[in-house]
Structure 1
Amino acid sequence: MRHFHPPRPTALELRERINKNAPFFGPVVVQMAAIKDFAVPFAGRGVPVRVYVPRVDEPLPVVVFVHGGGFIAGSIASHEGLTTKLAQRADVIVVSVGYSLAPEAKWPAARDECLAVVQWMREHAAKEFGAKPGPIALSGDSAGAAYCAQMLFIAREQRLPLAGAVLFVPVVDMTAATVTHAGTRQMIEWFVADTFPADVLRTDPAISPLFEPDFTGLAPVMLVLGDGDAWHTEQLAFAGKLASARADATTFVDKGVGHAVTDAGIDAAAAWLNARLRTPAPE
């Protein structure tokens, strides 16, 4: 008996399918003292960002947030429910990045845009937004957390100070070797094919940080996971490598949660950021 296999959807069709679920984290429910849109200069153009300031009575630390969406979808707007809650609960300025999406922009374009935003904010956020001087933290969910994980290792190599990173349900292994659900594996294959150049190996640590041989010297990390996530096995392996390297790492596992971010996860991340970003750190 021959089985019928539906045609592979295009990246634009997948993007439309994903974005129909937007906003992923509900409407904006937290009032900000200020919200500002502008572009960070990079490579002769601008990377769009939106800055969320929860209050203005004192300088606040900065968290650069990278949204998820399978590398091909999502936006600043789709994640405002998460970013505004994080800003309010952690008492931080959140800078959400509108990076270029695949397949129009293949990796490492988006990652490099996000890194440029981090570097620019480190130099200019205090003057432009009255932010607290000092190292900046990273955060992101899913594909955005994948970019953040990649940037952790780049920051180490470039000696770029980071205050820490909160990775919500990160994707750290592009081989999807531990993903057992056939439909999920198929979706991952589509995302990876649309995002990464064909000559980049799936096990290359530059795109799959789980395969990095050295986890020492990284900025502090918090993993916010769901125990029902299809990527949970690889996420725990990543946590294990951090532990083996005696890294400053914390893991919060949201029980009964899949590949999603809940209020409990945001609360845990906010508490970690609040403590971390108010501890004096060396430049």
Structure 2
Amino acid sequence: MDPSRLHPQARAAMQVQQRVPLTRATLPAARLSMVRATPAEVGSAPAIRSVVTFDAGGVPARLYRDADHDAMPVVLYAHGGGWVMGSVDTHDGLCRHLAAASGWAVLSVDYRLAPEYPYPAAVDDMTRALTWLRGPGAARHGLDPGRIAVAGDSVGGHLAAVTARRARDAGIRLAGQILICPVIDPAADYPALDEYGLDREEMRFFWDAFAPPGVDRTQPDLDPLRADLTGLPPAVVITAELDLLSAEGERYAARLLAAGVPVTAARYQGLIHNFPRKLALFDAAHVALAQLAAALNRW
């Protein structure tokens, strides 16, 4: 890849977080590094009307609302972090921005992390939170159980895609799905883009932590490309040119379209993995956020 393709803001952004080689032994340091980099990457978040942390059907979650009327549509959000790091705190700023820009409520799920809790823990936590959203608890928080979208960034995009398929299989009609720089393919042949942030060895570590050797990674809960995609809700898929995950995200978008699912897929040129979360570093993050808010308002 021609280095001149790298956006100047991406070049600066890669210096913000201290990179820790990922092993089981260094994982605590990697988790802390992500937390410490968050203020510089995400910046100040807008003040919104209500932020409440509570138990959503046995799963810790944080609800963002920027309006006080009842029956608000809601985004069920899964954070990124390789299934092994990240939390509602590292994604607090992004969820605040999304709630403010879209007018939807956002329920951010603090799902269990690998390797302490490998597959299917995170997937099951998302499903449990979705079940809670469709019950009386959500109505007590002023949410519309009939108008729910799923969303996530990086591995959160994977969890959102799987949750959308599980919902369809259960006869639940979702409003849409938002996949931001998603992880999709456990058998991906990653391109040589390691110098731009997320690298191939990190992805191998993430997959081995989440779905350890011996787990069948060809099942649809782990490989959404192998699932029947017909009847899934409309999708927005955001990818970045210099993200080693861009090809699999775009392949999934194409598969959705071929299955008759309405899809908007946008590749942002010169940018790197998960730029939309880094609202303090990328002008394009705000453009992507506006695109996501517009999609929600159409749904």
Alignment TM class, shorter chain as reference: 0.7 to 0.9
The equivalent residue for 2:121 is 109
SS at match of 1:106: coil
Query: Taking structure 1 as reference, are residues 39 and 133 closer, same or farther at Cα in structure 2, changes over 3 Å only?
Result: closer
User: 2: distance between equivalents of 1:236 and 1:66?
Assistant: 20
Identity of aligned residues (%): 32
Residue correspondence of structure 1 range 82-231 to structure 2 within 5 A: 82-124=94-136, 126-181=138-193, 184-212=199-227, 214-231=228-245
SS at match of 2:134: helix
Match of 2:254 among 240, 243, 246: 240
Aligned pairs, number: 266
Query: Taking structure 1 as reference, are residues 126 and 100 closer, same or farther at Cα in structure 2, changes over 3 Å only?
Result: closer
The equivalent residue for 1:259 is 273
SS at match of 2:95: helix
Query: Taking structure 1 as reference, are residues 254 and 101 closer, same or farther at Cα in structure 2, changes over 3 Å only?
Result: same
Amino acid at match of 1:32: I
Unaligned regions of 5+ residues in structure 2, if any?
1-20, 277-284
8 Å CA contact 1:61–1:92 kept in 2: the answer is yes
SS at match of 1:94: strand
SS at match of 2:264: strand
Does 2:57 align with 1:34?
A: no
The equivalent residue for 1:17 is 33
SS at match of 1:64: strand
Note the aligned Cα RMSD (angstroms).
2.0
User: 1: distance between equivalents of 2:288 and 2:188?
Assistant: 24
1:247 Cα shift? 1.1
Tell me whether 88-97 or 125-134 shows the greater mean CA deviation: 125-134
8 Å CA contact 1:25–1:82 kept in 2: the answer is no
Query: Taking structure 1 as reference, are residues 8 and 62 closer, same or farther at Cα in structure 2, changes over 3 Å only?
Result: closer
RCO greater where, 1 or 2, for CA within 8 Å and sep 6 or more? Answer: 2
User: 1: distance between equivalents of 2:260 and 2:181?
Assistant: 21
SS at match of 2:108: strand
User: 1: distance between equivalents of 2:220 and 2:70?
Assistant: 40
Amino acid at match of 2:286: D
User: 2: distance between equivalents of 1:92 and 1:53?
Assistant: 7
User: 1: distance between equivalents of 2:38 and 2:73?
Assistant: 28
SS at match of 1:200: coil
Tell me whether 124-133 or 169-178 shows the greater mean CA deviation: 124-133
The equivalent residue for 2:15 is none
8 Å CA contact 1:87–1:93 kept in 2: the answer is yes
User: 1: distance between equivalents of 2:266 and 2:40?
Assistant: 21
8 Å CA contact 1:65–1:96 kept in 2: the answer is yes
User: 1: distance between equivalents of 2:78 and 2:236?
Assistant: 15
